[in-house]
Protein backbone atom coordinates (compact mmCIF):
# COMPACT_ATOMS: atom_id res chain seq x y z
CA UNK A 1 0.00 0.00 0.00
CA UNK A 2 1.47 3.36 -1.01
CA UNK A 3 1.99 6.01 1.63
CA UNK A 4 -0.52 8.82 1.71
CA UNK A 5 2.21 11.44 1.55
CA UNK A 6 5.81 11.03 0.52
CA UNK A 7 8.42 13.77 0.38
CA UNK A 8 11.82 13.01 -1.01
CA UNK A 9 14.77 15.36 -0.60
CA UNK A 10 12.31 18.24 -0.49
CA UNK A 11 13.98 21.63 -0.31
CA UNK A 12 12.68 25.17 -0.36
CA UNK A 13 15.00 28.15 -0.27
CA UNK A 14 14.20 31.85 -0.36
CA UNK A 15 16.82 33.98 -2.05
CA UNK A 16 20.35 32.65 -1.85
CA UNK A 17 20.73 31.98 1.83
CA UNK A 18 17.40 31.27 3.57
CA UNK A 19 16.63 27.56 3.66
CA UNK A 20 13.06 27.02 4.92
CA UNK A 21 12.85 23.28 4.18
CA UNK A 22 16.14 21.44 3.93
CA UNK A 23 16.36 18.12 2.03
CA UNK A 24 13.37 16.76 3.91
CA UNK A 25 12.47 13.11 3.37
CA UNK A 26 9.36 11.76 5.04
CA UNK A 27 6.55 9.25 4.58
CA UNK A 28 3.12 9.61 6.19
CA UNK A 29 0.61 6.77 6.35
CA UNK A 30 -3.17 6.63 6.59
CA UNK A 31 -5.53 6.78 9.55
CA UNK A 32 -3.35 8.80 11.90
CA UNK A 33 -3.60 12.13 13.71
CA UNK A 34 -0.16 13.64 13.44
CA UNK A 35 1.22 16.71 15.17
CA UNK A 36 3.66 18.68 13.05
CA UNK A 37 5.54 20.41 15.82
CA UNK A 38 8.37 22.85 15.88
CA UNK A 39 9.36 26.30 17.09
CA UNK A 40 8.48 29.44 15.13
CA UNK A 41 10.29 29.58 11.80
CA UNK A 42 11.12 25.86 11.81
CA UNK A 43 9.55 25.26 8.39
CA UNK A 44 6.14 23.83 9.38
CA UNK A 45 4.05 26.22 7.31
CA UNK A 46 6.47 26.04 4.37
CA UNK A 47 6.22 22.25 4.36
CA UNK A 48 2.41 22.48 4.48
CA UNK A 49 2.35 24.99 1.62
CA UNK A 50 4.57 22.69 -0.44
CA UNK A 51 2.13 19.82 0.11
CA UNK A 52 -0.72 22.03 -1.08
CA UNK A 53 1.11 23.31 -4.15
CA UNK A 54 1.16 26.88 -2.82
CA UNK A 55 4.94 26.99 -3.07
CA UNK A 56 7.19 25.63 -5.78
CA UNK A 57 9.94 23.36 -4.38
CA UNK A 58 13.51 24.40 -5.09
CA UNK A 59 14.52 20.74 -5.15
CA UNK A 60 13.04 17.31 -4.50
CA UNK A 61 9.60 15.82 -4.93
CA UNK A 62 6.39 15.47 -3.00
CA UNK A 63 3.68 12.92 -3.75
CA UNK A 64 0.15 12.69 -2.39
CA UNK A 65 -1.52 9.34 -3.12
CA UNK A 66 1.35 8.79 -5.54
CA UNK A 67 0.74 11.99 -7.50
CA UNK A 68 2.43 15.39 -7.46
CA UNK A 69 0.38 18.32 -6.10
CA UNK A 70 -2.29 19.11 -8.68
CA UNK A 71 -6.00 18.79 -9.38
CA UNK A 72 -6.16 15.16 -8.17
CA UNK A 73 -4.31 15.83 -4.89
CA UNK A 74 -6.51 18.86 -4.21
CA UNK A 75 -9.59 16.68 -4.49
CA UNK A 76 -8.22 14.58 -1.63
CA UNK A 77 -6.70 17.23 0.67
CA UNK A 78 -8.77 19.44 2.98
CA UNK A 79 -6.57 22.36 3.96
CA UNK A 80 -7.10 24.93 6.68
CA UNK A 81 -4.53 27.72 6.40
CA UNK A 82 -3.42 29.90 9.28
CA UNK A 83 -5.18 32.94 7.80
CA UNK A 84 -8.69 33.92 6.71
CA UNK A 85 -8.83 32.87 3.07
CA UNK A 86 -12.52 33.33 2.38
CA UNK A 87 -14.08 36.31 0.62
CA UNK A 88 -15.40 38.49 3.41
CA UNK A 89 -18.35 39.80 1.38
CA UNK A 90 -19.82 36.31 1.00
CA UNK A 91 -22.51 34.92 3.29
CA UNK A 92 -21.86 31.67 5.15
CA UNK A 93 -24.49 29.81 3.09
CA UNK A 94 -22.90 31.12 -0.12
CA UNK A 95 -19.57 29.73 1.06
CA UNK A 96 -21.20 26.38 1.70
CA UNK A 97 -22.59 26.41 -1.86
CA UNK A 98 -19.16 27.40 -3.13
CA UNK A 99 -17.45 24.47 -1.37
CA UNK A 100 -20.26 22.15 -2.47
CA UNK A 101 -19.77 23.22 -6.10
CA UNK A 102 -16.02 22.68 -6.15
CA UNK A 103 -15.42 19.73 -3.82
CA UNK A 104 -17.20 16.49 -4.69
CA UNK A 105 -16.62 15.19 -1.15
CA UNK A 106 -18.20 18.20 0.56
CA UNK A 107 -21.20 17.32 2.75
CA UNK A 108 -23.57 20.27 3.01
CA UNK A 109 -25.78 18.63 5.63
CA UNK A 110 -22.80 18.12 7.87
CA UNK A 111 -21.75 21.75 7.44
CA UNK A 112 -25.21 23.07 8.33
CA UNK A 113 -25.40 20.72 11.33
CA UNK A 114 -22.05 21.99 12.61
CA UNK A 115 -23.10 25.60 12.06
CA UNK A 116 -26.23 24.97 14.07
CA UNK A 117 -24.28 23.31 16.88
CA UNK A 118 -21.97 26.34 17.02
CA UNK A 119 -24.93 28.71 16.85
CA UNK A 120 -23.66 30.44 13.69
CA UNK A 121 -26.38 31.80 11.41
CA UNK A 122 -25.92 30.71 7.82
CA UNK A 123 -27.24 33.94 6.28
CA UNK A 124 -24.59 36.08 7.98
CA UNK A 125 -21.91 37.79 5.96
CA UNK A 126 -18.40 36.69 6.89
CA UNK A 127 -17.19 40.25 7.39
CA UNK A 128 -19.68 40.77 10.24
CA UNK A 129 -18.34 37.81 12.22
CA UNK A 130 -15.67 37.96 14.91
CA UNK A 131 -12.19 36.57 14.21
CA UNK A 132 -12.87 33.47 16.29
CA UNK A 133 -16.20 32.80 14.55
CA UNK A 134 -14.57 33.23 11.13
CA UNK A 135 -12.01 30.60 12.13
CA UNK A 136 -14.83 28.31 13.21
CA UNK A 137 -16.58 28.78 9.85
CA UNK A 138 -13.36 27.91 8.02
CA UNK A 139 -12.91 24.84 10.18
CA UNK A 140 -16.50 23.76 9.52
CA UNK A 141 -15.97 24.07 5.78
CA UNK A 142 -12.77 22.03 5.92
CA UNK A 143 -14.08 19.35 8.29
CA UNK A 144 -17.28 18.92 6.25
CA UNK A 145 -15.23 17.31 3.53
CA UNK A 146 -14.67 13.58 3.31
CA UNK A 147 -10.98 13.95 2.48
CA UNK A 148 -8.01 11.57 2.70
CA UNK A 149 -5.71 14.13 4.23
CA UNK A 150 -6.73 17.03 6.47
CA UNK A 151 -4.01 19.61 6.88
CA UNK A 152 -4.71 22.10 9.63
CA UNK A 153 -2.17 24.88 10.04
CA UNK A 154 -2.37 26.43 13.51
CA UNK A 155 -6.11 25.74 13.91
CA UNK A 156 -6.21 26.74 17.58
CA UNK A 157 -3.90 29.76 17.56
CA UNK A 158 -5.61 33.01 18.40
CA UNK A 159 -8.78 31.58 19.96
CA UNK A 160 -9.75 31.36 23.62
CA UNK A 161 -9.30 28.06 25.55
CA UNK A 162 -13.02 27.21 25.41
CA UNK A 163 -13.01 27.65 21.64
CA UNK A 164 -9.85 25.52 21.43
CA UNK A 165 -11.61 22.61 23.12
CA UNK A 166 -14.53 23.03 20.79
CA UNK A 167 -12.29 23.12 17.72
CA UNK A 168 -10.37 20.01 18.80
CA UNK A 169 -13.63 18.22 19.51
CA UNK A 170 -14.85 19.21 16.05
CA UNK A 171 -11.69 17.85 14.46
CA UNK A 172 -11.71 14.46 16.17
CA UNK A 173 -15.43 13.92 15.81
CA UNK A 174 -15.67 14.89 12.13
CA UNK A 175 -12.70 13.49 10.30
CA UNK A 176 -12.97 10.39 8.21
CA UNK A 177 -11.28 7.62 10.22
CA UNK A 178 -9.38 6.24 7.23
CA UNK A 179 -7.94 9.66 6.69
CA UNK A 180 -4.91 11.30 8.21
CA UNK A 181 -4.96 14.62 10.03
CA UNK A 182 -1.77 16.65 9.94
CA UNK A 183 -1.97 19.29 12.60
CA UNK A 184 0.59 22.05 12.90
CA UNK A 185 0.85 24.00 16.14
CA UNK A 186 3.13 25.08 18.91
CA UNK A 187 0.36 24.82 21.52
CA UNK A 188 1.30 21.22 22.20
CA UNK A 189 -0.27 20.71 25.60
CA UNK A 190 -3.68 21.54 24.12
CA UNK A 191 -3.51 18.93 21.40
CA UNK A 192 -1.30 16.13 22.63
CA UNK A 193 -4.18 14.07 23.93
CA UNK A 194 -5.62 13.65 20.45
CA UNK A 195 -2.34 12.88 18.67
CA UNK A 196 -1.19 9.44 17.48
CA UNK A 197 2.15 10.54 16.06
CA UNK A 198 4.42 13.55 16.18
CA UNK A 199 6.88 15.02 13.73
CA UNK A 200 9.41 17.43 15.22
CA UNK A 201 10.79 19.84 12.69
CA UNK A 202 13.65 22.27 13.16
CA UNK A 203 15.54 24.40 10.64
CA UNK A 204 13.56 22.74 7.87
CA UNK A 205 14.75 19.25 8.81
CA UNK A 206 12.93 16.38 10.49
CA UNK A 207 14.34 15.99 13.97
CA UNK A 208 12.06 13.20 15.17
CA UNK A 209 9.16 11.22 13.72
CA UNK A 210 7.62 8.86 16.22
CA UNK A 211 4.42 7.89 18.02
CA UNK A 212 3.15 9.67 21.12
CA UNK A 213 3.18 6.28 22.85
CA UNK A 214 6.91 5.87 22.17
CA UNK A 215 7.70 9.26 23.66
CA UNK A 216 5.78 8.44 26.80
CA UNK A 217 7.34 4.95 27.09
CA UNK A 218 10.93 5.77 26.08
CA UNK A 219 11.34 9.11 27.78
CA UNK A 220 8.66 8.96 30.46
CA UNK A 221 7.49 12.41 29.46
CA UNK A 222 4.54 14.09 27.87
CA UNK A 223 4.98 15.35 24.30
CA UNK A 224 4.97 18.91 25.61
CA UNK A 225 7.77 18.20 28.12
CA UNK A 226 9.79 16.28 25.54
CA UNK A 227 9.33 19.11 23.02
CA UNK A 228 10.64 21.63 25.59
CA UNK A 229 13.66 19.42 26.18
CA UNK A 230 14.44 18.91 22.50
CA UNK A 231 14.00 22.54 21.55
CA UNK A 232 15.45 24.10 24.69
CA UNK A 233 17.14 27.41 23.91
CA UNK B 1 -14.92 23.40 -13.48
CA UNK B 2 -14.32 26.21 -15.98
CA UNK B 3 -18.00 27.17 -16.00
CA UNK B 4 -18.16 27.05 -12.18
CA UNK B 5 -15.04 29.20 -11.86
CA UNK B 6 -16.50 31.67 -14.36
CA UNK B 7 -19.80 31.76 -12.48
CA UNK B 8 -18.18 32.64 -9.15
CA UNK B 9 -15.75 35.07 -10.75
CA UNK B 10 -18.65 36.84 -12.47
CA UNK B 11 -20.61 36.98 -9.21
CA UNK B 12 -17.70 38.53 -7.34
CA UNK B 13 -16.98 41.22 -9.96
CA UNK B 14 -20.13 42.26 -11.80
CA UNK B 15 -21.51 44.63 -9.13
CA UNK B 16 -18.59 47.08 -9.18
CA UNK B 17 -18.34 46.94 -12.98
CA UNK B 18 -22.08 47.56 -13.19
CA UNK B 19 -21.67 50.67 -11.04
CA UNK B 20 -18.93 51.93 -13.34
CA UNK B 21 -21.14 51.39 -16.39
CA UNK B 22 -24.05 53.09 -14.65
CA UNK B 23 -21.78 56.08 -14.16
CA UNK B 24 -21.14 56.15 -17.92
CA UNK B 25 -24.84 55.96 -18.71
CA UNK B 26 -25.79 58.48 -16.03
CA UNK B 27 -23.31 61.16 -17.09
CA UNK B 28 -24.28 60.63 -20.74
CA UNK B 29 -27.94 60.84 -19.77
CA UNK B 30 -27.33 64.15 -17.96
CA UNK B 31 -25.45 65.44 -21.01
CA UNK B 32 -28.26 64.45 -23.38
CA UNK B 33 -30.88 65.95 -21.06
CA UNK B 34 -29.09 69.29 -20.90
CA UNK B 35 -28.70 69.27 -24.69
CA UNK B 36 -32.35 68.41 -25.19
CA UNK B 37 -33.35 71.17 -22.78
CA UNK B 38 -31.38 73.65 -24.87
CA UNK B 39 -29.10 74.69 -22.02
CA UNK B 40 -26.13 74.99 -24.39
CA UNK B 41 -28.05 76.38 -27.37
CA UNK B 42 -27.05 79.94 -26.73
CA UNK B 43 -24.83 82.67 -28.15
CA UNK B 44 -23.34 83.36 -24.72
CA UNK B 45 -19.60 82.74 -24.98
CA UNK B 46 -19.32 81.90 -21.28
CA UNK B 47 -21.90 79.13 -21.42
CA UNK B 48 -20.45 77.73 -24.67
CA UNK B 49 -16.97 77.61 -23.09
CA UNK B 50 -18.37 75.94 -19.99
CA UNK B 51 -20.11 73.39 -22.22
CA UNK B 52 -16.87 72.65 -24.09
CA UNK B 53 -14.98 72.22 -20.80
CA UNK B 54 -17.68 69.93 -19.41
CA UNK B 55 -17.64 67.86 -22.61
CA UNK B 56 -13.85 67.43 -22.40
CA UNK B 57 -14.14 66.48 -18.71
CA UNK B 58 -16.88 64.02 -19.62
CA UNK B 59 -14.71 62.33 -22.26
CA UNK B 60 -11.74 62.20 -19.86
CA UNK B 61 -13.88 60.73 -17.07
CA UNK B 62 -15.38 57.99 -19.20
CA UNK B 63 -12.00 57.03 -20.65
CA UNK B 64 -10.77 56.95 -17.04
CA UNK B 65 -13.68 54.67 -16.06
CA UNK B 66 -12.92 52.27 -18.90
CA UNK B 67 -9.30 52.09 -17.68
CA UNK B 68 -10.58 51.69 -14.14
CA UNK B 69 -12.34 48.50 -15.24
CA UNK B 70 -8.98 47.00 -16.28
CA UNK B 71 -7.38 48.17 -13.01
CA UNK B 72 -10.24 46.67 -10.99
CA UNK B 73 -9.94 43.33 -12.80
CA UNK B 74 -6.16 43.34 -12.31
CA UNK B 75 -6.54 44.04 -8.57
CA UNK B 76 -9.15 41.29 -8.34
CA UNK B 77 -6.77 38.92 -10.13
CA UNK B 78 -4.01 39.83 -7.66
CA UNK B 79 -6.28 39.24 -4.65
CA UNK B 80 -7.57 35.99 -6.09
CA UNK B 81 -4.20 34.57 -7.14
CA UNK B 82 -1.62 36.03 -4.76
CA UNK B 83 -3.15 37.36 -1.53
CA UNK B 84 -4.98 35.57 1.32
CA UNK B 85 -7.80 34.48 -1.02
CA UNK B 86 -5.19 32.68 -3.13
CA UNK B 87 -4.95 30.04 -0.38
CA UNK B 88 -8.44 28.99 -1.39
CA UNK B 89 -8.08 29.62 -5.14
CA UNK B 90 -5.00 27.43 -5.46
CA UNK B 91 -6.35 24.62 -3.30
CA UNK B 92 -9.52 24.21 -5.34
CA UNK B 93 -9.45 21.13 -7.59
CA UNK B 94 -9.29 23.35 -10.65
CA UNK B 95 -6.44 23.35 -13.17
CA UNK B 96 -4.35 26.48 -13.58
CA UNK B 97 -5.59 26.77 -17.16
CA UNK B 98 -9.19 26.86 -15.98
CA UNK B 99 -8.39 29.35 -13.21
CA UNK B 100 -6.64 31.67 -15.63
CA UNK B 101 -9.06 31.14 -18.50
CA UNK B 102 -12.11 31.87 -16.33
CA UNK B 103 -10.63 35.19 -15.17
CA UNK B 104 -9.53 36.04 -18.71
CA UNK B 105 -12.95 35.32 -20.24
CA UNK B 106 -14.94 37.20 -17.60
CA UNK B 107 -12.44 40.07 -17.52
CA UNK B 108 -12.60 40.32 -21.32
CA UNK B 109 -16.41 40.35 -21.29
CA UNK B 110 -16.44 43.14 -18.68
CA UNK B 111 -13.85 45.13 -20.59
CA UNK B 112 -15.54 44.61 -23.98
CA UNK B 113 -19.01 45.55 -22.71
CA UNK B 114 -17.62 48.64 -20.98
CA UNK B 115 -15.86 49.68 -24.23
CA UNK B 116 -19.09 49.19 -26.20
CA UNK B 117 -21.08 51.22 -23.66
CA UNK B 118 -18.36 53.89 -23.60
CA UNK B 119 -18.36 54.21 -27.41
CA UNK B 120 -22.17 54.20 -27.52
CA UNK B 121 -22.21 56.97 -24.89
CA UNK B 122 -19.66 59.13 -26.71
CA UNK B 123 -21.28 58.70 -30.14
CA UNK B 124 -24.75 59.12 -28.64
CA UNK B 125 -23.77 62.37 -27.01
CA UNK B 126 -22.02 63.62 -30.15
CA UNK B 127 -25.15 62.79 -32.18
CA UNK B 128 -27.33 64.81 -29.79
CA UNK B 129 -24.75 67.55 -29.79
CA UNK B 130 -25.04 67.84 -33.58
CA UNK B 131 -28.82 67.77 -33.59
CA UNK B 132 -28.99 70.45 -30.91
CA UNK B 133 -26.28 72.79 -32.25
CA UNK B 134 -27.33 76.14 -33.63
CA UNK B 135 -26.87 76.81 -37.35
CA UNK B 136 -23.70 78.88 -36.91
CA UNK B 137 -21.91 76.06 -35.11
CA UNK B 138 -23.13 73.54 -37.69
CA UNK B 139 -21.69 75.63 -40.51
CA UNK B 140 -18.35 75.82 -38.69
CA UNK B 141 -18.26 72.04 -38.34
CA UNK B 142 -19.21 71.53 -42.01
CA UNK B 143 -15.84 73.10 -42.93
CA UNK B 144 -13.98 70.16 -41.34
CA UNK B 145 -16.04 67.57 -43.25
CA UNK B 146 -14.13 65.85 -46.06
CA UNK B 147 -16.59 64.07 -48.42
CA UNK B 148 -13.76 62.25 -50.25
CA UNK B 149 -12.45 60.61 -47.06
CA UNK B 150 -15.97 59.69 -45.96
CA UNK B 151 -16.58 58.02 -49.33
CA UNK B 152 -13.31 56.09 -49.02
CA UNK B 153 -14.24 54.91 -45.54
CA UNK B 154 -17.67 53.85 -46.78
CA UNK B 155 -16.15 51.89 -49.69
CA UNK B 156 -13.61 50.27 -47.37
CA UNK B 157 -16.34 48.97 -45.14
CA UNK B 158 -19.12 48.28 -47.67
CA UNK B 159 -17.05 45.78 -49.65
CA UNK B 160 -17.48 42.53 -47.65
CA UNK B 161 -19.27 44.33 -44.84
CA UNK B 162 -20.32 41.21 -42.95
CA UNK B 163 -16.82 39.74 -42.76
CA UNK B 164 -15.35 43.12 -41.84
CA UNK B 165 -18.02 43.69 -39.20
CA UNK B 166 -17.12 40.37 -37.64
CA UNK B 167 -13.44 41.21 -37.87
CA UNK B 168 -14.01 44.55 -36.11
CA UNK B 169 -15.99 42.88 -33.30
CA UNK B 170 -13.30 40.20 -33.04
CA UNK B 171 -10.63 42.90 -32.99
CA UNK B 172 -12.39 44.75 -30.15
CA UNK B 173 -12.74 41.50 -28.21
CA UNK B 174 -9.06 40.76 -28.72
CA UNK B 175 -8.13 44.29 -27.68
CA UNK B 176 -10.11 43.80 -24.48
CA UNK B 177 -8.43 40.42 -23.85
CA UNK B 178 -5.08 42.02 -24.67
CA UNK B 179 -5.58 44.74 -22.01
CA UNK B 180 -6.64 42.17 -19.42
CA UNK B 181 -3.85 39.69 -20.17
CA UNK B 182 -1.23 42.45 -20.19
CA UNK B 183 -2.35 43.38 -16.65
CA UNK B 184 -2.40 39.70 -15.55
CA UNK B 185 1.10 39.10 -16.93
CA UNK B 186 2.38 42.22 -15.14
CA UNK B 187 0.81 41.11 -11.83
CA UNK B 188 2.30 37.61 -12.22
CA UNK B 189 5.74 38.95 -13.16
CA UNK B 190 5.67 41.31 -10.18
CA UNK B 191 5.47 38.26 -7.89
CA UNK B 192 8.99 37.30 -8.96
CA UNK B 193 10.29 40.26 -6.94
CA UNK B 194 11.39 39.20 -3.45
CA UNK B 195 10.00 42.41 -1.91
CA UNK B 196 7.54 45.17 -2.88
CA UNK B 197 5.72 42.89 -5.28
CA UNK B 198 2.90 45.34 -6.03
CA UNK B 199 5.40 48.01 -7.05
CA UNK B 200 7.14 45.28 -9.04
CA UNK B 201 3.88 44.56 -10.86
CA UNK B 202 3.42 48.25 -11.72
CA UNK B 203 7.00 48.43 -13.05
CA UNK B 204 6.38 45.28 -15.12
CA UNK B 205 3.15 46.77 -16.48
CA UNK B 206 4.94 49.95 -17.57
CA UNK B 207 7.73 47.87 -19.12
CA UNK B 208 5.38 45.54 -21.02
CA UNK B 209 3.20 48.46 -22.12
CA UNK B 210 6.24 50.31 -23.48
CA UNK B 211 7.42 47.23 -25.37
CA UNK B 212 3.95 46.79 -26.89
CA UNK B 213 3.81 50.45 -27.93
CA UNK B 214 7.20 50.15 -29.64
CA UNK B 215 6.16 46.90 -31.34
CA UNK B 216 2.87 48.49 -32.47
CA UNK B 217 4.79 51.42 -33.93
CA UNK B 218 7.04 49.02 -35.82
CA UNK B 219 3.94 47.36 -37.25
CA UNK B 220 2.26 50.65 -38.13
CA UNK B 221 5.27 52.47 -39.68
CA UNK B 222 5.31 50.39 -42.91
CA UNK B 223 1.62 51.19 -43.41
CA UNK B 224 2.21 54.89 -42.88
CA UNK B 225 5.05 54.69 -45.41
CA UNK B 226 2.78 52.97 -47.91
CA UNK B 227 0.05 55.56 -47.44
CA UNK B 228 2.49 58.43 -47.93
CA UNK B 229 4.77 57.14 -50.68
CA UNK B 230 3.24 53.96 -52.05
CA UNK B 231 0.63 53.52 -54.71
CA UNK B 232 -1.88 51.99 -52.30
CA UNK B 233 -5.49 53.07 -51.93
CA UNK B 234 -7.08 54.05 -48.63
CA UNK B 235 -9.42 51.05 -48.92
CA UNK B 236 -6.54 48.59 -49.19
CA UNK B 237 -4.72 50.25 -46.31
CA UNK B 238 -7.72 50.07 -43.98
CA UNK B 239 -8.45 46.45 -44.86
CA UNK B 240 -4.86 45.30 -44.50
CA UNK B 241 -4.24 47.41 -41.36
CA UNK B 242 -7.25 45.95 -39.58
CA UNK B 243 -6.13 42.40 -40.35
CA UNK B 244 -2.55 43.03 -39.24
CA UNK B 245 -3.68 44.77 -36.03
CA UNK B 246 -5.98 41.84 -35.27
CA UNK B 247 -3.18 39.32 -35.78
CA UNK B 248 -0.83 41.45 -33.66
CA UNK B 249 -3.39 41.65 -30.81
CA UNK B 250 -3.90 37.87 -31.07
CA UNK B 251 -0.16 37.24 -30.83
CA UNK B 252 0.09 39.53 -27.77
CA UNK B 253 -2.82 37.71 -26.10
CA UNK B 254 -1.18 34.31 -26.64
CA UNK B 255 2.20 35.52 -25.36
CA UNK B 256 0.76 37.18 -22.23
CA UNK B 257 -1.45 34.18 -21.49
CA UNK B 258 1.49 31.79 -21.72
CA UNK B 259 3.68 34.02 -19.52
CA UNK B 260 0.96 34.23 -16.86
CA UNK B 261 0.21 30.51 -17.05
CA UNK B 262 3.88 29.60 -16.73
CA UNK B 263 4.37 31.86 -13.71
CA UNK B 264 1.18 30.59 -12.04
CA UNK B 265 1.98 26.93 -12.56
CA UNK B 266 5.77 26.86 -12.19
CA UNK B 267 6.73 29.85 -10.07
CA UNK B 268 3.89 30.17 -7.57
CA UNK B 269 5.22 31.19 -4.15
CA UNK B 270 2.58 32.54 -1.78
CA UNK B 271 3.77 34.52 1.25
pLDDT at B140: 60
Q: Which domain covers residue A75, as residue numbers?
A: 5-230
Percent of chain A residues topping a pLDDT of 70: 99
Sign of CA dihedral B176, B102, A80, A33: negative
- Whether B139 and B236 map to the same domain: the answer is no
Q: Out of B8, B84, B95, whose CB is closest to A98?
A: B8
| Per-residue model confidence (pLDDT) at position A64 | 93
Q: Is B122 in the same domain as B159?
A: no
| Interface predicted TM-score (ipTM) | 0.92
β-pairing, A33-37 vs A180-185, is: parallel
Q: Which residues lie across from B195 on neighbouring strands?
A: none
Q: Does A65 touch chain B (CB under 8 A)?
A: no
Q: Are residues B174 and B257 in the same domain?
A: yes
CA B259, CA B7: separation in Å to the nearest integer? 25
Kindly list the residues from chain A whose CB atom is less than 8 angstroms away from the CB atom of residue B271.
none
Contacts of A87 in chain B (CB under 8 A): 12, 85
DSSP string for B91-159: TSS--HHHHHHHHHHHHHHHHHHHHHHHHHHHHHHHHHHHHHS-HHHHHHHHTT--HHHHHHHHHHHHT
Q: Which residues does B16 contact at the CB level (< 8 Å), separation at least 6?
A: B72
Same domain for B140 and B150? no
The pLDDT tens digits for B54-111 are 888 888 888 888 889 999 999 999 999 999 999 999 999 999 999 999 999 999 999 9
**C-alpha–C-alpha distance, residues B72 and B16, integer Å:** 9
A119-145 average pLDDT score? 91
- Count CA atoms closer than 13 A to B224's CA, side-chain side: 6
Contacts for B216 with CB less than 8 Å, ≥ 6 apart: B248
Kindly state whether residues B156 and B120 are assigned to the same domain.
Answer: no
Residues of B in contact with A139 (CB under 8 A): none
Whether B114 and B230 share a structural domain: no
- pLDDT band (50, 70, 90) for residue B234: low
Query: Is the domain of B10 the same as that of B137?
Result: yes
Do B40 and B122 sit in the same domain of this protein? yes
CB B122 within 8 A of CB B25: no
Residue-wise pLDDT for B23-48, tens only, equals 999 998 888 888 777 776 667 778 87
CATH number of the domain within which A15 lies: 3.40.50.300
Question: Using CB atoms and an 8 Å cut-off, which of residues 94-113 of chain A contact chain B?
Answer: 98, 101-103
Angle between helical axes of B2-36 and B96-132 (0-180°, round to 10): 10
| Domain interval for residue B79 | 1-145
Distance (Å, rounded) from C-alpha B232 to C-alpha A84?
62
Q: Does one domain contain both B6 and B63?
A: yes
Picking from A70, A85, A89, the nearest residue to B88 by CB comes out as A85
Nearest to B110 by CA among B180, B178, B190: B180
Judge contact between A193 and A172, C-beta under 8 A: no
Q: In what side-by-side order are the strands of the sheet with A180-185? A: A77-80, A149-153, A180-185, A33-37, A197-202, A205-211
**Shortest Cα distance from A211 to chain B (angstroms)?**
29
**Number of domains comprising chain B:** 2
Query: What CA–CA distance (Å, rounded) separates B16 from B9?
Result: 12
CB atoms near residue A58 (< 10 Å)? 14
DSSP letter for each residue of B201-221: HHHHHHHHHHHHHHHHHHHHH
Same domain, B177 and B261: yes
Mean local confidence (pLDDT), A204-221: 91
> Is residue A162 over pLDDT 70?
yes
Say what the pLDDT of residue A177 is.
75
Determine the Cα–Cα distance for residues A153 and A139; give it in Å rounded to an integer: 11
Burial of residue A153 (number of CB atoms within 10 Å: 0-12, 13-18, 19+): buried
Rounded to a whole number, what is the distance in Å from the CA of A86 to chain B's nearest CA? 6
Instruction: State which of A153-162, B77-86, B157-166 shows the largest mean pLDDT.
Output: B77-86
Interchain CB contact of B85 with A (< 8 Å): yes
Residue B99 sits in the same domain as residue B174: no
Question: Residue A197, by phi and psi: left (phi above 0), alpha (psi -120 to 50) or beta?
Answer: beta
**Using the beta-carbon criterion (under 8 Å), do A54 and B94 form an inter-chain contact?**
no
**Total domain count, chain A:** 1
Confidence check: pLDDT of A108 > 90 = yes
Pairs of residues, one from chain A and one from chain B, whose beta carbons lie less than 8 Å apart: 59
Question: CA-based diameter of chain B, in Å?
Answer: 67
Q: Strands across the sheet with A59-64, in order?
A: A18-28, A5-14, A59-64
Residues B20 and B121 grouped into a single domain: yes
Q: Are A52 and B269 in contact (CB < 8 Å)?
A: no
Residue A139: name the closest of A114, A119, A117 by CA.
A114
Amino acid sequence: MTALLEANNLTKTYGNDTVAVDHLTISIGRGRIIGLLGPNGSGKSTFIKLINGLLTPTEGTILINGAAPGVESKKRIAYLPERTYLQSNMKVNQLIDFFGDFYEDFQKDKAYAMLQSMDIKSNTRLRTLSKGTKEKVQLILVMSRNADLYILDEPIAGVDPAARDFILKTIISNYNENATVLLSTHLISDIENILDDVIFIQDGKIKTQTTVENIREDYGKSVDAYFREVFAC
Amino acid sequence: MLIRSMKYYWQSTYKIILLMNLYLLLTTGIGVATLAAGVWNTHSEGITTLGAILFILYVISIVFVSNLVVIYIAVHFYRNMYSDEAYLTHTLPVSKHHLLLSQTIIGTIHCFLTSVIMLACIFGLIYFLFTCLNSQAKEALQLTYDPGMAADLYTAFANGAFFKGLLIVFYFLLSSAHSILLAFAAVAMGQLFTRHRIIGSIICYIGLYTIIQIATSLVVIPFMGLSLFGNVSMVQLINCGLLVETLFALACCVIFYLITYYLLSRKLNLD
